């Protein structure tokens, strides 16, 4: 059969075997001004380490732009360029297209160069979702879009995004005397949507850098597999979630262990639950109650027991009622859902 996709070779990035076998070189290093306990900065560091030196990084507006790159200083060892809030998809596509054209036409030395565009949840799940979606339909361009999801517009003072969990206290959803729950939207299922909606996209994964090796290997696989790929990283944020900065790592673990954040990859259409999520789904370990996760964070401090029960019921639905548990919210039967009054 004829081949219609014209893809350039990618770098072959084998999985890292163990933390102690990681290369020592850093491509995202000192010079940034992120908060103490910032998990997203760790994602940047590990993303750059996983990708290696022959990489171009595009960063859309957000914490990882403003805090990492202040004129006259930069934490990026690899080439880096700012892109607009909703433009991570377009930045990845444009850069990849330029490399492809210039190399084909003999205007640039041929070599596989990684192209990674990152965005926050505001830039990705809200404003940039259209451009990311479009990019994932272009099979000819090698690029990765990584969404670091700290569940709010954290750089602009913690405003809610389409990726903020139900009920969370943000500066746009402050609990008040009459309305306790101002944010009544359930978190957008971004990775599931990207995987289900883009059949030609060869790799979509969810990661959490509390499980750093797995996260880095997902990035390496996404860059090696070819074509446009998407990774959604859940990043605990001490400022936005309101907990002590030293707990970031643990907060990520809790998100996974409570089933709030399922870890999975969809490789060429094949779904694999990963790590602890796989064990939960297989019944090897129990799902921890969401109460353990929610009550550790100031953003849920206004929750009543009813609110926690509602949150738990929605997470239970993800696991018990979704046709593809934790991933795709299709169901077998119609039933009514009601939020507590």
Positions touching another protein (CB under 8 A) are 53-56, 58, 65-66, 69-74, 76-84, 86-87, 89-91, 93-95, 97-102, 104-105, 107-108, 113, 130-131, 133-134, 138
CB closer to another protein out of 70 and 171: 70
CB closer to another protein out of 94 and 240: 94
Least distance between another protein and beta carbon 193 (Å): 15
How many Cβ atoms from other residues are within 10 Å of residue 105's Cβ? 8
CB closer to another protein out of 6 and 171: 6
Partners of 228 in the beta sheet?
Answer: 143
Least distance between another protein and beta carbon 131 (Å): 5
CB closer to another protein out of 140 and 242: 140
Least distance between another protein and beta carbon 8 (Å): 12
Give residues with Cβ within 8 angstroms of 29, minimum separation 6: 45, 75, 77
* Terminal C-alpha separation, the chain: 58
Angle at alpha carbon of residue 183, lines to 119 and 190, rounded to 5°? 35
Least distance between another protein and beta carbon 133 (Å): 7
Least distance between another protein and beta carbon 254 (Å): 33
CB closer to another protein out of 49 and 299: 49
C-alpha to C-alpha distances, 121 to 170, 183, 226, 232, 242, nearest whole angstrom: 14, 16, 24, 9, 18
Report the candidate in 271, 197, 306, 213 with the shortest Cα–Cα distance to residue 22. 213
Q: With 0-12 CB in 10 A as exposed, 13-18 as middle and 19+ as buried, what is 336?
A: exposed
């Amino acid at each position: 059969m004829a081949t219609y996709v014209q893809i350039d070779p990618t770098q072959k990035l084998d999985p890292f075997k163990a933390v102690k076998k990681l290369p020592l070189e850093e491509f995202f290093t000192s010079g940034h001004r992120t908060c103490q306990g910032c998990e997203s900065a760790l994602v940047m560091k590990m993303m750059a380490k996983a990708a290696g030196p022959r990489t171009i990084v595009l960063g859309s507006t957000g914490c990882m732009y403003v805090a990492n790159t202040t004129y006259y200083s930069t934490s990026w060892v690899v080439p880096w360029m700012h892109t607009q809030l909703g433009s991570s998809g377009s930045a990845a596509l444009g850069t990849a297209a330029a490399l492809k054209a210039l190399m084909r036409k003999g205007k640039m030395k041929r070599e596989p160069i990684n192209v990674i565009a990152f965005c926050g949840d505001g830039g990705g799940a809200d404003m940039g979702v259209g451009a990311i979606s479009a990019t994932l339909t272009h099979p000819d361009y090698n690029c990765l879009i990584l969404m670091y999801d700290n569940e709010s517009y954290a750089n602009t003072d913690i405003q809610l995004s389409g990726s903020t969990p139900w009920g969370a206290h943000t500066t746009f959803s402050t609990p008040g005397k009459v309305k306790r729950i101002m944010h009544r939207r359930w978190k957008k299922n971004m990775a599931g949507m990207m995987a289900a909606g883009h059949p030609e996209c060869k790799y979509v994964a969810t990661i959490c850098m509390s499980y750093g090796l797995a996260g880095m290997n997902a990035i390496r696989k996404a860059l090696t597999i070819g074509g446009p790929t998407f990774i959604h990283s859940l990043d605990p944020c001490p400022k936005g979630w309101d907990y002590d900065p030293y707990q970031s790592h643990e907060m990520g673990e809790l998100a996974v262990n409570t089933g709030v954040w399922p870890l999975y990859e969809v490789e060429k259409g094949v779904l694999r639950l990963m790590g602890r999520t796989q064990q939960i789904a297989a019944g090897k370990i129990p799902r921890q109650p969401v109460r353990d996760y929610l009550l550790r964070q100031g953003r849920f401090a206004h929750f009543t027991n009813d609110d926690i029960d509602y949150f738990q019921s929605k997470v239970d639905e993800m696991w018990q009622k979704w046709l593809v548990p934790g991933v795709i919210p299709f169901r077998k039967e119609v039933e009514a859902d009601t939020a507590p009054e």
